[in-house]
Amino acid sequence: MTDSSAVSIRSVSKGFGRGAAAVRVLEDVSVEIGQREFFTLLGPSGCGKTTLLRLIAGFETADQGKIIIEGQDVTQAPPFRRPVNTVFQNYALFPHLTVEQNVGFALVEQQMPADKIRARVGESLEMVRMQSFARRRPAELSGGQQQRVALARALAPRPKVLLLDEPLSALDLKLRKEMQIELKLLQAEAGITFLFVTHDQEEALTLSDRVAVMQGGRILQMGAPRDIYETPTHRFVADFIGDINLIEAEALPGNAIRLAGGAQIVVPHQAQGKVTLAIRPERARIVAPDAGHLQARVVHTAYLGTALVHKLALSDGATFLLRQSDLDGTQPPIGSTVGLSLPADSLRVLLQ
């Protein structure tokens, strides 16, 4: 583990059940999470992300491997012995306690002096801008306000690492987007490591310093949001993160790729045999039918305010999405045939 690591996961595996009913949830997962980093575990339901979070929190025990937090091996340590705190999806606020009592609950359990509890609760509520709600009870708060209180309660004991298990999923779309910004600002102000779990790709890209995309109990790809989006290495990652066009093609000697219809294009990386190319909808360009790498028929066009999204049909019947951000450009009529230009530096050859 490097000195900059807040959390070090070393070859961790976890399964549930026994014999034929046993299910492997995590398989030899290793990851280093840096100090004051906003790190996100992203993936579909059942990929193992929440189980990994629970292992770090101490709510589950790893079958093998080590979990090290702030240089301390906590693999076998109970939750209360770990310098972490957790914000759950349902917030888990005590309905009979006021906001300030909820926030100070853990501090009372730690037998902190009353004057210090008042000061710490005040600081935590100020951090989430909920000072004026201190005497209210959870039932008197909106969903967004409850979420802020849950964050304040988790931050009050000053954990080294804050674990967040899909804390925005219960909010409506507009409030969720607002809270994404608030959460990132809060993390910068708190100056601690945030480990965030979500299945929402937009949340992951918006909030994170780094993202780990998980599938089947493994981390398939890890990196900055831009790297995950622009340079996916696996077909699953490309397809899971945003809209993507997947094109079946054949690799030729050198770095050439032959597309359906015979057109060839040179890509940055050498490949062999049948390959899958990936390109984002905003990277392709509409050109004259005889000037593109592929030909397609315009099936539908949607106006999204800042862009036009064209649904196109390729000659083999596959669907191709193209996002045209220049609204002053020529809009091809429905039913017309267009050419598609695929810039080589925007194409990715994917692993299966």
The mean pLDDT value of the chain amounts to 90
Number of neighbouring beta carbons within 10 Å of residue 335: 8
Higher-pLDDT residue of 45, 267: 45
Given a cut of 90, whether residue 192 has pLDDT beyond it is yes
Query: Phi and psi (nearest 5°) for 130?
Result: -125, 25
- Mean pLDDT on 141-162: 91
Task: Tell me which H or E stretch contains 25.
Answer: strand 23-34
User: Which 8-state DSSP code applies to residue 305?
Assistant: S
pLDDT at 174: 84
CA distance readout (Å), 183 to 98, 103, 154, 272: 23, 17, 13, 44
pLDDT at 260: 74
- Mean pLDDT on 56-71: 96
pLDDT at 323: 93
Domain annotation for the chain: domains and CATH numbers: 5-230 (3.40.50.300), 243-349 (2.40.50.140)
- Three-state secondary structure call for residue 187: helix
Beta bridge pairs of residue 297:
313, 337
Pull the structure tokens for residue 78: 């109970």
pLDDT at 34: 96
Strands (E), 270-336: 274-279, 285-287, 294-303, 308-314, 319-324
β-sheet with 308-314: strand ranges across = 285-287, 337-341, 294-303, 308-314, 319-324
pLDDT interval class at 179 (50, 70, 90):
confident
**252-271 residue pLDDT tens:** 887 788 887 778 888 777 77
pLDDT interval class at 152 (50, 70, 90):
very high
Query: Phi and psi (nearest 5°) for 201?
Result: -60, -40
CA distance 231 to 246: 14
Per-residue DSSP letters for 32-79? Answer: EEETT-EEEEE--TTSSHHHHHHHHHTSS--SEEEEEETTEE-TT--G
pLDDT at 175: 82
Rounded (10°) angle between helices 99-109 and 114-127 = 130
pLDDT at 160: 94
Helix and strand counts by DSSP (H, E) for the chain? 8, 20
pLDDT at 211: 97
Q: What is the pTM of this model?
A: 0.88
pLDDT interval class at 328 (50, 70, 90):
low
Nearest to 128, CA basis, from 147, 106, 142, 108? 147
76: Cβ–Cβ under 8 A, 6 or more apart, which residues?
61
Give the pairing of strands 23-34 and 38-42: unpaired
